[in-house]
C-alpha cells in the first residue's frame, strides 16, 4: 500500500508541485483533514500545532520540513527528521522521505 | 593664566601704586632728582605698556609732573635745560612703552581671535573630541564631547581610559568593552576604531583613537545609531527578499524539472527554451543561496568542518569545474603546484572559494587569454594564487572589491553578469579560516587574487 503523506504548504503552486512530486515518487499525497498519515511535509512557516499533528494518531508521524528560512531562523517541530530549504529537487525530497521511513 | 582684563587691571593698579609710592619715598628721603628719574621709569613703562599709547603718554606726563614737583621741593637746584631734557625723555619713554603695549595687545587679541575660531571649529562637529596628555589626562575637549559625556554618564575626573572603563556596566557587552578599554590604555601608541552599544537604549557609538606627538592622544566619539539602524534595515530587507524569492523559485524549478522529464515531447526549439529557463533558474537559485550564505557568515552562524586538505586537489577540482567555460572561450587554464603544505580547512567552503575565484577569472578574461592557479607556500603558510589576463579592476575601485554587492566598472561597462557577492563571500570564508585574501589588479592587463591559509600543524 502506498504511504500517505500530509502536505502542509500555504502556497497553492508549491502544494500542487509537491503533490505531483510525491505521486511520481510513489506516495499518496493527502490534504489537511485526512486521518492516519505516515509522514508530514511541512512548511514550518505554515503554523501547524502539535495538537493538529497529533490528530493523526497517538504518535506524531515523522516530519520533513521544507522551508524558505534557514533552520536557525525557524522553529521546527521535534519530530523533524529532515530539514530542506526551498527550492528542492525531487531527488532531495526522495532521500529525505526515505530517511523518514528508515528512522 | 589670568584673563586679559584681570591682568590689565592688576598691572595698572601696580603701576599707579608704584608711581605714588616712589614719589612719596622720594619726598620722604629727599632723593636726588637723578635718582628719582631712574626710580620712576619702571612704573611709567609698566603703565604705558599695559594701557597702550594713551596710557603711555599719560604715564609719562604724570611721572614728569611728579618729578618736577620733587625737584622743585628737593634740595638740589636744577638746571632748566637738564630739566626739560629729562622731562622729554620720561614722556618719550612712556609713549614708547605705550606703543609696545599696543602691539602686544593687538597680538594678544589676534591670538584670542584665533583660539576662539579654533574652538568654534572643533565645536562645530557632531563628533566628540578630546586630547589627552601622556598620562591620559584631559588637555582639551570640545562641546559635543562634553554633551556626550553627560549623556553617557562619564565620570568628570580621572584619565580618559579610567572614565571609559567606569561606564562598562552600561554596555551591551560589558566584559568585552572593558577588556578593549584596558587594551587601549596599555597601548597608547596604537590607533584603533571600536564600536559599542549602550544597553537598553539601542544607541551605538564609534570610538576612534590615535596618537599625536609627545605621548598625547586624540579620542573621538561619534554616535552611529542611525547608520547601524540603516544596516539592519538593509540586511532585513535583503533577507526578506531572498526568502520570499524561494517560494516562486520552488514552483519554477520544480515544474521545470517535470518539463525536462517530458523533454522528448518537445521540438528542438522547445528544448532550447527549456535550457535557457534552467540556466536562468539556476542563477536565481545561486543568488538566493549566496545572499543567505553571506548573511550567515556575517552573523557568524557558519560553522567550519575542519579537516586536513591538500591545496593542490582543491585547485585541480576548481580547474576541472571551470574547464568547459574556459574551453568555450579558448582560455588556457592550468594548475601549477609547488609542494603546498596541507591546510586545515572546511573542504566544501574552501572548494566554494576557489571555484568562485577561478570562475571569476574565466568570466573576466577575454577569449584567448589564460588563467593560472598556482599553489605553494609562503613562509610557513599555504598560498593559492589565481592569476588571469582579464579586464582587471581600476585602481581606485580595488579597495571595495570585497564589499557586498560591489561590481567593478570594468564589469558593468561590458555588461558581464554578476551579483557582487562572490568576493565578499570568499573574503568572509577565508577570514573565518584564519587566512587572508589579497586582490591585485591592473586595468586591461589582469588580476591576481592571493589566498594565504595557515598550514596544518
> Total structural domains in chain B?
4
Q: Note whether B110 and B186 are same-domain residues.
A: no
Contact B251 A21 (CB under 8 A): no
B393 has a pLDDT exceeding 90 = yes
Q: Note whether B17 and B108 are same-domain residues.
A: yes
For chain A (length 103 residues), average pLDDT per consecutive 10?
Answer: 89 94 93 78 75 63 90 80 92 92 80
CB A83 within 8 A of CB A65: yes
- CATH code where residue B371 lies: 3.30.565.10
Which range among A66-75, B66-75, B397-406, B444-453 shows the weakest confidence by mean pLDDT? Answer: B66-75
B173 has a pLDDT exceeding 90 = no
- The domain ranges of chain A are 4-102
Distance CA B407, CA B387 (A): 19
Q: Note whether B166 and B115 are same-domain residues.
A: no
- CB within 8 Å of B433: residues ≥ 6 apart: B304, B345, B346, B349, B350, B453, B454
Query: Most confidently modeled of B32-36, B78-82, B120-124, B447-451?
Result: B447-451
Q: Note whether B46 and B73 are same-domain residues.
A: yes
Q: Note whether B180 and B252 are same-domain residues.
A: no
Compute the nearest-CA separation of B304 from chain A (Å): 16
Q: Note whether B312 and B449 are same-domain residues.
A: yes
ipTM attached to this prediction: 0.88
pLDDT tens-place string over residues B218-253:
999 999 999 999 988 988 888 888 889 999 999 999
Distance CA B361, CA A54 (A): 54
Q: Give residue B280's domain range.
A: 228-298
Query: Which chain A residues are closer than 8 Å to B251 by Cβ?
Result: 11, 13-14, 17
Instruction: Pick the residue from chain A with its C-alpha nearest to B245.
Output: A68
pLDDT of residue A34: 65
Look at residues B215, B205, B209 and name the one whose alpha carbon lies nearest to residue B192.
Answer: B209
Query: Which chain A residues are closer than 8 Å to B293 by Cβ?
Result: none
CB B160 within 8 A of CB B148: no
- Count of CB atoms within 10 A of residue B348's CB? 9
Distance CA B235, CA B196 (A): 19
pLDDT of residue B34: 65
Q: Note whether B23 and B43 are same-domain residues.
A: yes
Predicted confidence band at B438 (pLDDT cuts at 50, 70, 90)? very high
pLDDT tens-place string over residues B411-427:
888 888 888 899 999 99
Contact A68 B247 (CB under 8 A): yes
Chain B, window 193-252: residues with a beta carbon less than 8 angstroms from a chain A beta carbon: 243-244, 246-252
pLDDT of residue B79: 65
Q: Note whether B8 and B95 are same-domain residues.
A: yes
Instruction: Pick the residue from chain A with its C-alpha nearest to B281.
Output: A87
Q: Note whether B320 and B261 are same-domain residues.
A: no
Say what percent of chain B tops pLDDT 70.
95
CATH tag for A4-102 (out of 3.40.50.2300, 3.60.15.10, 3.40.50.300, 3.40.50.20): 3.40.50.2300
pLDDT of residue B44: 78
CB A80 within 8 A of CB A53: no
Query: In chain A, which residues touch B (CB < 8 A)?
Result: 11, 13-14, 17-18, 20-21, 66, 68-70, 72, 85-90
- CATH code where residue B269 lies: 1.10.287
Query: Which chain A residues are closer than 8 Å to B254 by Cβ?
Result: 14, 17-18, 21, 87-88, 90
Taking the Cβ of residue B80 and every Cβ of chain A, the question of whether any pair is shorter than 8 Å is answered with no
pLDDT of residue B405: 84
Q: Note whether B323 and B438 are same-domain residues.
A: yes
B446 has a pLDDT exceeding 70 = yes
Q: Note whether B415 and B324 are same-domain residues.
A: yes
Mean pLDDT to the nearest integer, B328-340: 93
Domain's final residue, options B191, B223, B255 = B223
pLDDT of residue B11: 79
Query: Most confidently modeled of B136-140, B354-358, B453-457?
Result: B354-358
Chain B, window 271-330: residues with a beta carbon less than 8 angstroms from a chain A beta carbon: 285, 292, 296, 301
pLDDT tens-place string over residues B151-162:
888 888 888 888
B182 has a pLDDT exceeding 80 = yes
Domain's final residue, options B68, B95, B123 = B123
Amino acid at each position: 500500500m502506498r504511504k500517505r503523506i500530509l502536505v502542509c504548504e500555504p502556497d497553492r503552486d508549491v502544494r500542487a508541485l509537491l503533490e505531483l512530486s510525491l505521486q511520481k515518487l510513489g506516495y499518496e499525497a493527502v490534504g489537511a483533514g485526512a486521518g492516519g498519515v505516515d509522514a508530514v511535509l511541512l512548511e514550518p512557516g505554515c503554523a501547524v500545532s502539535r495538537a493538529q499533528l497529533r490528530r493523526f494518531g497517538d504518535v506524531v508521524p515523522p516530519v520533513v520540513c521544507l522551508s524558505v528560512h534557514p533552520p536557525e531562523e525557524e522553529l521546527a517541530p521535534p519530530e523533524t527528521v529532515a530539514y530542506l530549504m526551498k527550492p528542492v529537487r525531487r531527488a532531495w525530497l526522495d532521500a529525505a522521505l526515505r530517511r523518514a521511513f528508515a528512522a | 593664566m589670568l584673563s586679559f582684563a584681570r591682568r590689565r587691571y592688576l598691572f595698572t593698579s601696580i603701576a599707579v601704586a608704584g608711581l605714588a609710592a616712589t614719589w612719596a619715598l622720594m619726598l620722604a628721603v629727599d632723593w636726588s632728582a637723578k635718582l628719582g628719574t631712574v626710580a620712576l621709569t619702571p612704573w611709567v613703562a609698566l603703565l604705558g605698556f599695559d594701557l597702550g599709547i594713551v596710557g603711555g603718554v599719560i604715564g609719562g606726563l604724570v611721572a614728569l609732573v611728579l618729578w618736577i614737583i620733587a625737584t622743585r621741593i628737593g634740595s638740589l637746584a636744577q638746571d632748566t635745560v637738564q630739566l626739560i631734557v629729562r622731562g622729554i625723555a620720561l614722556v618719550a619713554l612712556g609713549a614708547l612703552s605705550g606703543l609696545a603695549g599696543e602691539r602686544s595687545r593687538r597680538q594678544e587679541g589676534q591670538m584670542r581671535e584665533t583660539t576662539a575660531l579654533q574652538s568654534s571649529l572643533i565645536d562645530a562637529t557632531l563628533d566628540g573630541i578630546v586630547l589627552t596628555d601622556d598620562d591620559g589626562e584631559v588637555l582639551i575637549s570640545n562641546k559635543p564631547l562634553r554633551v556626550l559625556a553627560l549623556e553617557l554618564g562619564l565620570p568628570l575626573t580621572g584619565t580618559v581610559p579610567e572614565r571609559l572603563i567606569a561606564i562598562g556596566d552600561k554596555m551591551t557587552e560589558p566584559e568585552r568593552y572593558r577588556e578593549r578599554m584596558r587594551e587601549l590604555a596599555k597601548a597608547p601608541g596604537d590607533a584603533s576604531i571600536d564600536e559599542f552599544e549602550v544597553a537598553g537604549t539601542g544607541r551605538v557609538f564609534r570610538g576612534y583613537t590615535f596618537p599625536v606627538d609627545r605621548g598625547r592622544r586624540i579620542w573621538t566619539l561619534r554616535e552611529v545609531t542611525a547608520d547601524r539602524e540603516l544596516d539592519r534595515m538593509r540586511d532585513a530587507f535583503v533577507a526578506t527578499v531572498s526568502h520570499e524569492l524561494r517560494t516562486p523559485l520552488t514552483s519554477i524549478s520544480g515544474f521545470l524539472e517535470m518539463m525536462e522529464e517530458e523533454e522528448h515531447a518537445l521540438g528542438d526549439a522547445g528544448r532550447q527554451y527549456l535550457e535557457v529557463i534552467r540556466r536562468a533558474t539556476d542563477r536565481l537559485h545561486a543568488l538566493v543561496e549566496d545572499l543567505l550564505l553571506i548573511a550567515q557568515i556575517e552573523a557568524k552562524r557558519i560553522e567550519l568542518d575542519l579537516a586536513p586538505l591538500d591545496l593542490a586537489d582543491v585547485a585541480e577540482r576548481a580547474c576541472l569545474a571551470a574547464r568547459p567555460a574556459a574551453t568555450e572561450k579558448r582560455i588556457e587554464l592550468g594548475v601549477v603546484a609547488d609542494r603546498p603544505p596541507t591546510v586545515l580547512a572546511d573542504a566544501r567552503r574552501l572548494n566554494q572559494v576557489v571555484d568562485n575565484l577561478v570562475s571569476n577569472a574565466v568570466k573576466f578574461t577575454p577569449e584567448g587569454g589564460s588563467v593560472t592557479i598556482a599553489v605553494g607556500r609562503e613562509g610557513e603558510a599555504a598560498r593559492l594564487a589565481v592569476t588571469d589576463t582579464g579586464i582587471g579592476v581600476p585602481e581606485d575601485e580595488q579597495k571595495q572589491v570585497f564589499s557586498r554587492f560591489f561590481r567593478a566598472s570594468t564589469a558593468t561597462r561590458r555588461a558581464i553578469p554578476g551579483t557582487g557577492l562572490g568576493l565578499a563571500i570568499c573574503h568572509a570564508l577565508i577570514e573565518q579560516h584564519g587566512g587572508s585574501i589579497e586582490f591585485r589588479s591592473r586595468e586591461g592587463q589582469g588580476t591576481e587574487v592571493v589566498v594565504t591559509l595557515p598550514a596544518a600543524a
